[in-house]
Structure 1
Amino acid sequence: MADRVVIVGGGPGGYEAAHVAAQLGADVTVVDTDGLGGSAVLTDCVPSKTLIATADLMTEMGGAHELGVAFHDHEGDAAVGVQVDLAQVNERVLALAHDQSDDISRRLERDGVKVVRGRGRLAAADRVSVSLADGGEDTLAADAVLLATGARPRVLDTAEPDGERILTWEQVYGLTELPDHLVVVGSGVTGVEFASAYLSLGIEVTLVSSRDRVLPGEDADAARVLEEVLTRRGMNVLSKSRMASVARDGDSVTVTLTDGRTVEGSHCVLALGSVPNTADLGLEEAGVATDDGGFVAVDRVSRTSVRGVYAAGDCTGVLMLASVAAMQGRIAMWHALGDAVTPLDLSQVSSNVFTSPEIATVGCSQQAVDSGDIAAEAVTLPLSGNARAKMQGVKDGFVKLFCRPGTGIVVGGVVVGPRASELIHPVSIAVAGTLTADQLAHAFTVYPSMSGSVAEAARRLHHV
């Protein structure tokens, strides 16, 4: 008899786990509440990066005159500007999100995975009870359970979203007209991504940051470059400014800061972090341990404190990335079903901030080096000297590499620039494969290319 696997949640942690479990011959059921793909596909990663794709095009068009390109109307007169139809943009955003969800559904069906629409909760370590979407209850027996219920935007009593003028990042896709002045509260990855995107769409943007710089969790050099670019393009960044409340009055919103200052705008996007979807999940009754924030505690093979119960994705709070959620889910199934498994290694995770320019990182950080947590040598190479960058009018950005002294093994890197999410890949391969800077440098790169700067930075780490 095949192992019975029940997965609660249809996001990346859930549906990727389902594919692995089906491949290993298990009888797999996914209990899905909000739509396959979860928030990553329907309200977060896919929609936001689709919006950012339009913003990137606007950024490129803004620099077209430097490359000798001018815009003219049908009568030959010089065009005075380029406008965005936000209703059309958001229509495309939502259509692509639902198309991606449909693709996931077809793939699961192809693999023989059963999908149950409803809300699942642990009835015991080997049972999941489901409140079915069309009414009624069901109970699913399981040899292994995976909890992949995700997280949702954090909101405050003093800043409650209304879905029209005061918005979470999941609600912005209902906008049909460009805001006159958008106030973004929160300078972490989500807040800065939206602030950068809407700035590129031609909107006045004020970013409220409680810290002394944007992206406090990212490489300080990279954050400095990004903040310089954003302010040069007209963004108003309010550093060391903590939000106390947000209130709406008709067609305007007022953000009140803790020092008494106020910022008025037409709309406000709240980017205050996330809270896990773990309430009323039956965790306490089943003995599944959580931390003070409500996140499910897991080890490096996704096991919870209860035998046979695993967890993956944002509900664990390990590292809130879709790629990490997917890997946690796969690892859980490999472990539960007796396949070969390598524990999760966060030192090999690559991530990207989809701003303009992008910031991509992998492996050890400058902060870890500066604090003495890891011994590494570093080299930083500005993109301004790269031939391809010059051709494309790119002036901002850099490649930074870290390697071990003595051995020269690459242990991390940072790329700031256009499509940094693609440029970080060779560095990720070097980190995962414990390659030396010399090995990275000796691989051929195309000339001219942005990736040439990765090889050049590696050459500068060569020791005689």
Structure 2
Amino acid sequence: MSAFDAIVIGAGQAGPSLAFRLAATGRRVAMVERDAVGGTCVNTGCTPTKTLVASARVAQQARRAAEYGVVLPGGVGIDWPRVKARMDAVVARSRDGLTRSLESTENITLIRGHARFTGPQEVVVNRERLEAPWIFLDVGGRAAAPPIPGLDSVPWLTNTALLRLDALPRHLAIIGGSYIGLEFAQIFRRFGCAVTVVELAPRLIPREDEEVSATIREMLEAEGVVFHLNAKGLAVAPDGAGIALRLEGEAEIQASHLLLATGRKPNTDDLGLDAAGIARDALGFITVDEALQTSLAGVWALGECNGRGAFTHTAYNDYEIVADNLLNAATRKLTDRLPCYALFTDPPLGRVGMSEAEARAAGHEILIGRRPMARVNRAVEKGETTGFIKIVVDATTRQILGAAILGVEGDEAIHGLLDLMYAKAPAWVMQRAVHIHPTVSELIPTVMGDLEPG
């Protein structure tokens, strides 16, 4: 038996930060990781995909060069091995740097292997028993495969496998028209692949307002992505060296590769949670209270595995909540957090708080401010006028309920509204702010001054 002050299982976005923080207080920490340090974000999520987004954007800008008076003789070509090598190098830099830090930090022992509970405060890794009064789970999640007829008869890709391809797909079919699917659709279309997206819902990213869904569909269709929405009777079958997708009432889709982008499930099915009495919900997520403690005292679940946020920034905030509460006697809780995220298409979507539909459903009388990006000087000057700014405000309190900025730099400009919402400042504070010209953010005060009943 090896005794520690804390055991952290999973080196994703919350785990290492917590390990460093605990080790700095003199506590002995076992950092357990069965696979690559850095978790999904570093290895198969944010870091590699946003690196690909950058390469795909350069390719698209090169195709549009003549619009800006720039002549590129010879056309635009994609060297996938070099694109992939750049992506892999960026990933390795982040992963290896974090690994070295964990290995060299005093009071942290990095243990490679799969951890399973054998009792309330005890786990086994590589046949070695570890115990600690504090145990933290940051085990993440993985791609889920829906029950599609014929799926077991064809090769298919997850987001992880797609990143490992040695050659570009001739025709990439994507099942799932939400955030992951749409980012990959644009990336590979810009790399010259034929791309078809199949979505069972009537519209893309249905959690967003309809105008967001419609605009994103229009901008991707303009780049050549083909959509099949409200798909019925989906089935797949082998088709020579490729895959055939069959839909009721539609022509067969013949693809060379198939990506499933239909959601994720937590990595909680092989942790021995039952042996420790740690509860999970019907979907396998570890249940936690507002301070992220599980049903077992002394055990906390952070990041994607708790079902309370599937983003790097929410995982990191989980770490901050737990560390502050344990080490500083704070009383931070999950409900202090505002929902915020981005869709990293180009242009991106930045989102915070409620959508218009959510605000109405919650019973708010609302005011709405809108501004098309075609009336934002920065967007016009850059030649990127797709999208709009939309802000939803409570008509009585003038508190900002939510916002969407779909357009150039929308993923950055949204933070001004996010900060104002955390400060609980009314809309007029932003309306009177003076922003720098020419930027996207400078139009937000103008939008606040044009609020109208929704």
Partner of 2:82: 88
Change (3 A) 1:440 1:317: same
Structure 1: which amino acid aligns with 2:72? F
Change (3 A) 1:243 1:47: farther
The partner residue of 1:400 within 359, 367, 390 is 390
The partner residue of 1:425 within 400, 415, 421 is 415
Which SS does the other structure have where 1:211 is aligned? coil
TM superposition outliers: structure 1 runs of 4+ over 4 Å: 258-261
Aligned-residue offset at 1:295: 0.9
Partner of 1:298: 288
Aligned-residue offset at 1:462: 9.7
How many residues matched? 448
Give the unaligned 5+ runs of structure 2. Answer: none
The partner residue of 1:262 within 252, 255, 274 is 252
Preserved contact between residue 398 and residue 427 of structure 2 (Cα < 8 Å): yes
Query: After superposition, where does 1:45-56 map in structure 2 within 5 Å?
Result: 45-56=46-57
Q: Is 423-432 or 149-158 further displaced after alignment?
A: 149-158
Identity of aligned residues (%): 29
Change (3 A) 1:454 1:103: farther
Query: After superposition, where does 1:22-421 map in structure 2 within 5 Å?
Result: 22-72=23-73, 79=74, 81-109=75-103, 111-112=105-106, 113-131=108-126, 137-156=127-146, 158-160=150-152, 166-242=156-232, 244-257=234-247, 262-337=252-327, 339-345=329-335, 348-421=338-411
Preserved contact between residue 237 and residue 244 of structure 2 (Cα < 8 Å): yes
How many Å separate the matches in 2 of 1:315 and 1:258?
36
Aligned-residue offset at 1:23: 3.8
Aligned-residue offset at 1:242: 4.6
1:227-256 CA-to-partner distances (Å, cap 9, x unmatched) read: 011112221100111573333444322123
How many Å separate the matches in 2 of 1:243 and 1:167?
21
How many Å separate the matches in 2 of 1:387 and 1:299?
46
How many Å separate the matches in 1 of 2:232 and 2:344?
24
Structure 2: which amino acid aligns with 1:194? F
1:445 is the counterpart of 2:435: yes
Per the normalisation by structure 2, the TM-score is: 0.92
Change (3 A) 1:161 1:187: farther
Preserved contact between residue 134 and residue 299 of structure 2 (Cα < 8 Å): yes
Q: Is 394-403 or 364-373 further displaced after alignment?
A: 364-373
Partner of 1:76: none
Give the unaligned 5+ runs of structure 1. Answer: 73-78, 132-136
Which SS does the other structure have where 1:247 is aligned? strand
How many Å separate the matches in 2 of 1:154 and 1:240?
20
Change (3 A) 1:225 1:290: same
Aligned-residue offset at 1:386: 1.1
How many Å separate the matches in 1 of 2:20 and 2:105?
7
Change (3 A) 1:341 1:248: farther
How many Å separate the matches in 1 of 2:386 and 2:153?
36
1:238-285 CA-to-partner distances (Å, cap 9, x unmatched) read: 011157333344432212336675311111111121111111211112
Change (3 A) 1:242 1:14: farther
Per the normalisation by structure 1, the TM-score is: 0.90
Q: Is 379-388 or 397-406 further displaced after alignment?
A: 397-406
Which SS does the other structure have where 1:174 is aligned? coil
Partner of 1:134: none
Preserved contact between residue 226 and residue 356 of structure 1 (Cα < 8 Å): no
Aligned-residue offset at 1:171: 0.6
Preserved contact between residue 93 and residue 173 of structure 1 (Cα < 8 Å): no
How many Å separate the matches in 2 of 1:400 and 1:106?
44
How many Å separate the matches in 2 of 1:405 and 1:347?
23
Preserved contact between residue 359 and residue 401 of structure 2 (Cα < 8 Å): no
How many Å separate the matches in 2 of 1:336 and 1:377?
41
Structure 1: which amino acid aligns with 2:19? A
How many Å separate the matches in 2 of 1:84 and 1:365?
38
